Structure formats: structure tokens, C-alpha cells
Amino acid sequence: MGGACCKEEPIDFSQEVELNHFNLLRVVGKGAFGKVRIVQHKQTKEIWALKYINKEQCIGMKAIDNIIQERKMLEEINHPFICNLRYAFQDDENLFMVIDLMLGGDMRFHLERAGHFSEEAVKLYMAECALALSYLHGEKKIVHRDLKPDNILLDAGGHAHLTDFNIAVKIRPERPLTAVAGSMAYMAPEIFKRAGYNESVDWWSLGVVMYELLFEKRPFHGKTNELLQKSIMQDTLEIPPEASKFSPECIDCMKGFLTRDIMKRLGCKEAGGLDAIKRHPFFSSIDWDKVLKKEINPAFVPDPNACNFDASHELEELLLEDNPLRASVAPGGAPTDGLSKEMMEMEMKFTVFDFKNAKPMQTTTAPVEIAVSRVWECEMGMKW
């Protein structure tokens, strides 16, 4: 029989959100500053992903501004095809972001395992990503700048969601962007010209992703960054012989995104924006209202009986972690003297966020509904 010593203190959920409001379940990924694990809100029973960022590591890598900026940007965003922020809080060791859980794993994971995707699957991914990008660019004035298969996560049903707003920035028409930022192989040619660029770069990256999903390789190559850059800027787009397996409309759409001239590039506002995508023959069979409502069933549904994550992160935590995640002192309760300038900065700027108290957004997305028992099964190490 359980003794009084083991009884958990009742939690006051009317207080600000903190780590103790969640049950910590299995680890599903590892980022540059910490891990990502499945959590369940103890009161609402909703399942989310918890991304935790070690403060010391964040300071060491001089990434405070990036993290604060990413989190501020996520606060503004709410879209069905984006991993939205639900809660943010911190303790004395970590910054925490609770986001929409994507049980299907990332697109890179599936590309590496299954190889290329079918034309039907790619069509829906492109439509879903195009809606997300158009929302970011048009309504939120945000350029993602790091679109690639690693940053497109699938939910349990197989719908695509953009994630990782680490290097995303606000568009200011009077001040075009100039920084060479992103993942080289997915960067648009105008980034290297150093004459300023805007959201057009995301449409190019989407084209590189489309090419990779169809052909299992990227369109431009180079053994060094310099050669790769040269190839992106100059080389003729090579269409592999396997292209005959796909419709001419599909290939034409991909070429449209991979057009160097932004005045003609598919998706760019200069070339008709989202309307031009919707009018493209590749998407003639698509009902865009149904896409937005996630009423179109993806051609590829991640196997619910297989683990769609790299299980080594979980194993690593079990075997190596000498400082596993635990509910720690909330910063408000700890003395602040002796804290470094950077620690103070994070404490002040990384304020508590609760999506339930946030301003209502135009588009909403339902919380993930899955059987919790499945998550626990995973936790217990069963095949899933």
C-alpha cells in the first residue's frame, strides 16, 4: 500500500504553467540544445511535444537571441500545417517549449528508410507546405529560411507540418535580407548574390524539397560549399530519367519552384503567389478548402506500429544521461544574485506563454488526439 510519503502534492493548475503540469513520456528527438519528448498535460490529458533547451548550452553557443526570437515568432503563429507553440516556461536549468506533437516523424527519416515518395503523396505535401508558407509570408510577414525534409514533420495521419523557426525572420520590405542563412543545399541563388532577398527563398527551398522527395537526391551538388554555391547559381537543372515515372505537370511544378528568376518563380508574390500555385495544372485535382481542413487523406500514412523516431535518443538518455530532466526550481522562486548577465536575460525575456490565454487566431488546429496507452507502450519499450 502506498504510504503518505509518496503522495503527490496537488497541483494548482490556475497558477502559471510549469513542468510539473505535465507527465514526461518518451524521448522522440534530439536538437542542438536539448531533447524533444512526448508529454501529457496532467489536467487536460492532451498530448504534446516538449522541447527543452539547456540554458548553459544555449549561452555557450551564443544562441540566446535566436531562441528568444524563435519563441517570440512562434507565439504569433497558429496554422494547421505548422508545429504551433502551446506553452512556454522555464526553470533554473532549461527553457521549455510545448508544441504540437508530430507522431509521424520527420520527412528525412522516411526518405532515408522508404526512398522516394509517390506523386500523390508529394502533391499533398506541396499543397500543405504552400498553405503554411503563404500564411507565414502573407499574414505573418515571416520568412522561414530553413525549409528542408528535416524540418517538415508528419502527424500521425501523415499531414506535413513546418517546424524549426530558429533562423526565421520578419520581412521588412524597406530592408531586404542579406545574411547568408539556411542549409546550403536548400538555399536560393539570390541569397548568394548579396543584393538582398525576401520570402522568395522559401519557394526555392520548397522546390529542392520536392525534387528530393521525387528523386531521392538533391538538384545541385558540389564537394565544397563554394562549388555547391556555384552549382546553385549556374548549373542547368538536371531532370533524371526517373522523371518519366511522374506526370509532366508534376515536373513542371517542381521546375516552377526551382526557377532562378523570382519574377517567374512559382509561389513568389511577383509571380502570382499562392493563386498561381492553385492554378497550376499539377494541383488541378486538389480541393484547397479540403486541404486546409485536413480532409484529404495523405497517400503515405506513417506506420502506427513502427517507431517513427530514432530510438537511440531514448536509449542514450537511459544509459548516459547523468542529469535527466526533472521538475526543477522555477526561476521566480530561486535567488537571482550571482546569475550571469545571460542567465538574467533569458529569465526576463523567456516569459511564460499559455496558448489558452493568447489572442484568438484566425486559423486553429485541434490538439493531438491519440490513445495515451500507445504512448506508454512506447515508453515501455514496445515496438511502435
Tell me the closest approach of the beta carbon of residue 61 to ligand ATP, in angstroms. Answer: 10
Q: Using CB under 6 A, list all residues that contact ligand ATP.
A: 28-33, 36, 49, 51, 83, 99-102, 106, 153, 163-164, 166, 309
Residue with the closest Cβ to ligand ATP?
29
Task: Kindly state the smallest distance separating residue 370's Cβ from ligand ATP, in Å.
Answer: 12
Looking at the chain, which runs of residues are DSSP E strands? 22-30, 35-41, 47-54, 85-90, 94-99, 105-106, 142-143, 152-154, 160-162, 169-170, 353-354
Minimum CB distance to ligand ATP smaller for 1 or for 366: 366
Q: 185 and 220 in contact (C-beta within 8 Å)?
A: yes
**Cα–Cα separations (whole angstroms), residue 324 to 94, 195, 317, 334:** 12, 47, 7, 20
**Distance of closest approach, residue 167 Cβ to ligand ATP, in angstroms:** 9
Percent composition of the chain: helix, strand, coil (DSSP 3-state, to 5): 40, 15, 45
Any catalytic annotation for residue 146?
yes
**Out of 100, 106, 146, 155, which one is annotated catalytic?**
146
* Pick 29 or 273: Cβ nearer ligand ATP: 29
For ligand ATP, the closer CB: 63 or 274: 63
51 annotated among ligand-binding-site residues: yes
Closest distance between ligand ATP and the C-beta of residue 239, in Å? 30
Q: How far is the CB of 378 from ligand ATP (least distance, A)?
A: 12
Quick one: 155 or 347, whose CB is closer to ligand ATP? 155
Which of 180, 334 has the CB closer to ligand ATP? Answer: 180
Please state, as a whole number, how many other Cβ atoms lie within 10 Å of the Cβ of residue 92.
14
Contact at 8 Å (CB) between 48 and 86?
yes
H or E stretch including 214? helix 200-215
Look at phi and psi of residue 141 and say left if phi exceeds 0, alpha if psi is from -120 to 50, else beta: left
Q: H helices within 224-311, ranges in order?
A: 225-234, 248-257, 273-279, 288-292
Active-site positions? 146
Residues at the annotated binding site for ATP?
51
Residues at the annotated binding site?
51
